């Protein structure tokens, strides 16, 4: 299969290539795509060196699938052109996520809604993916009324500039700033830009995307997104209020049985998810599950995932794997 990776030299694009290789995705020809400054560079994939090309060259080669992680503007302009050429685009930017004509997909939750008509498929925001992976099985069983989530997000979600800023601050060196403040020894309650309602775009993505993926506008979601000096993944403290009564043991079994979730929950031996151990893994890790003693039908939990993997690259590749399965 001819597969294009648009944004192949970026952080997510590099993880996409890693995941495609790890999962032996059936690629006969890779088309690595990047900006003009990278055109001509060589990228090695499965022992073969491929030359980086620009978008115009890539679209003319008519790949069956194109994984995009190159920003919203590139997706808005080029995803339709690839789709027009017969390519199925899986886009990691926010460009198409809330477009009512586009599917917003977490394979374990709603891949079955995909049809051959879907030529542009949206990959949800990283912090949304790990949240809905835990919410979905519980919503099906107990009905979720309201979710209050606080995120503790890795600087890799911002990109190379943020990683460089933290490294410079470790060394006490000045350099380009990805954030309005130092991130070393700090926590910045500001992910993406502020909106009119004084929430950030990241916080409203959690609200809007969660409703769309669960296909239930009645689920209330209130979010606070915080950036912390961590690289392994995003962590989330989540309070969920249900319609129905529940037992914690039943909640743990439901989560443990859900594909793509690993339960890490045994306070007796200090077992709970942490980004340092989630890094490089594809699962969503859930722990610290406990009744909310302040409310009869609510609980708290802690969710951690590698934001570059299940939060972006792995989810996109899993969508592509689903497309192959259904088109076989």
Q: What amino acid positions are annotated as catalytic residues?
A: 126, 234
Taking CB under 6 A as the rule, does residue 229 contact ligand 2RA? no
User: HSE (CB half, 13 Å, CA atoms) of 222?
Assistant: 8
User: Which residues inside 170-199 make contact with ligand 2RA, applying CB under 6 A?
Assistant: 191
Q: Supply the minimum distance, in Å, between the C-beta of residue 173 and ligand 2RA.
A: 23
Q: Which residue is nearest to ligand 2RA (CB)?
A: 157
Q: Supply the minimum distance, in Å, between the C-beta of residue 50 and ligand 2RA.
A: 26
Q: Is 42 helix (H, G, I), strand (E, B) or coil?
A: strand
Taking CB under 6 A as the rule, does residue 223 contact ligand 2RA? no
Cβ–Cβ under 8 Å, residues 134 and 255: yes
Q: Supply the minimum distance, in Å, between the C-beta of residue 3 and ligand 2RA.
A: 22
Q: Which residues pair with 122 in a beta bridge?
A: 91, 104
Taking CB under 6 A as the rule, does residue 158 contact ligand 2RA? yes
Displacement of CA 192 from its chain's centroid (Å): 15
**Residue 187 neighbours by CB distance under 10 Å:** 12
User: Which residues inside 274-313 make contact with ligand 2RA, applying CB under 6 A?
Assistant: 307
Looking at residue 125, the DSSP 8-state letter turns out to be P
Q: Which residues pair with 319 in a beta bridge?
A: none
Taking CB under 6 A as the rule, does residue 206 contact ligand 2RA? no
Q: Is 208 helix (H, G, I), strand (E, B) or coil?
A: helix
**Which of 27, 104, 126, 303 lies at the binding interface for ligand 2RA (CB under 6 A)?**
126
Q: Which is nearer to ligand 2RA, 230 or 263 (CB)?
A: 230
Copy the structure tokens of residue 226.
């915080």
**Which of 157, 229, 233, 273 lies at the binding interface for ligand 2RA (CB under 6 A)?**
157
Q: Which is nearer to ligand 2RA, 158 or 210 (CB)?
A: 158
Taking CB under 6 A as the rule, does residue 315 contact ligand 2RA? no
Q: Which is nearer to ligand 2RA, 130 or 318 (CB)?
A: 130
For residues 137 and 35, give the distance between their C-alpha atoms in angstroms, rounded to a whole number: 40
Helix H or strand E encompassing 301: strand 298-305
Cβ–Cβ under 8 Å, residues 37 and 12: no
Residues forming the site for ligand 2RA (CB under 6 A) = 125-127, 153, 157-158, 191, 202, 307
């Amino acid at each position: 299969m001819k597969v294009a990776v648009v944004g192949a030299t970026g952080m997510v694009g590099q993880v996409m290539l890693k995941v495609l290789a790890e999962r032996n995705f059936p690629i006969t020809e890779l088309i690595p795509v990047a900006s003009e400054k990278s055109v001509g560079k060589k990228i090695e994939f499965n022992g073969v060196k491929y030359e980086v090309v620009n978008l115009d060259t890539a679209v003319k080669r008519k790949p069956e699938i194109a994984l995009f992680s190159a920003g919203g503007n590139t997706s808005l302009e080029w995803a339709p052109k690839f789709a027009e050429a017969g390519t199925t685009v899986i886009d990691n930017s926010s460009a198409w996520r809330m477009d009512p004509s586009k599917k917003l997909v977490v394979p374990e939750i709603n891949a079955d809604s995909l049809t051959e008509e879907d030529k542009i498929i949206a990959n949800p925001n990283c912090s949304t993916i790990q949240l809905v992976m835990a919410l979905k099985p519980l919503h099906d069983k107990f009905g979720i009324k309201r979710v209050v989530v606080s995120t503790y997000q890795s600087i890799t979600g911002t990109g190379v500039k943020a990683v460089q800023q933290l490294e410079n601050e470790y060394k006490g060196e000045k350099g380009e700033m990805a954030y309005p403040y130092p991130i070393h020894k700090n926590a910045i309650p500001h992910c993406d830009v502020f909106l009119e309602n004084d929430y950030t775009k990241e916080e409203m993505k959690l609200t809007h995307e969660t409703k769309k993926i669960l296909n239930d506008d009645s689920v209330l979601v209130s979010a606070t997104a915080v950036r912390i000096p961590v690289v392994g993944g995003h962590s989330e403290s989540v309070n969920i209020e249900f319609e129905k009564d529940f037992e914690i043991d039943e909640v743990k079994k439901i989560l443990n049985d859900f594909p793509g979730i690993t339960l890490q929950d045994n306070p007796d031996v200090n077992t709970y998810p942490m980004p340092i151990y989630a890094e490089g893994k594809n699962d969503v890790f859930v722990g610290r599950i406990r009744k909310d003693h302040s409310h009869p039908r609510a609980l708290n939990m802690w969710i951690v995932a590698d934001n570059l993997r299940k939060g972006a690259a792995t989810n996109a590749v899993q969508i592509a794997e689903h497309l192959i399965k259904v088109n076989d």
